[in-house]
Amino acid sequence: MVRDTAHRLAEYLSRRIGDGLRTVVIAADGGYELEYIRDDLSERYTERTLTAAVTDLQVETSFSSPSSDSSPAGERRAVVYYYENAFVLQFPFSEAEQIIISIGTGVGTDLLRFIEDCRRIVDREN
Containing structural domain, residue 74: 2-125
pLDDT of residue 123: 86
Write the burial class of residue 54 (CB in 10 Å: 0-12 exposed, 13-18 middle, 19+ buried). Answer: buried
d(CA 125, CA 27): 37
pTM: 0.84
Sequence-ordered alpha helix ranges (H) in the chain: 2-17, 39-44, 47-57, 109-125
Phi, psi (degrees; rounded to nearest 5) at 26: -100, 125
Give how many domains the chain has, as a whole number. 1
CATH value at residue 16: 3.30.450
Cα-based torsion angle of the residue sequence 58, 62, 65, 67 in order, rounded to the nearest 10 degrees:
-140
Averaged pLDDT in 10-residue chunks for the chain of 126 residues: 94 95 91 94 90 76 56 85 92 90 92 87 80
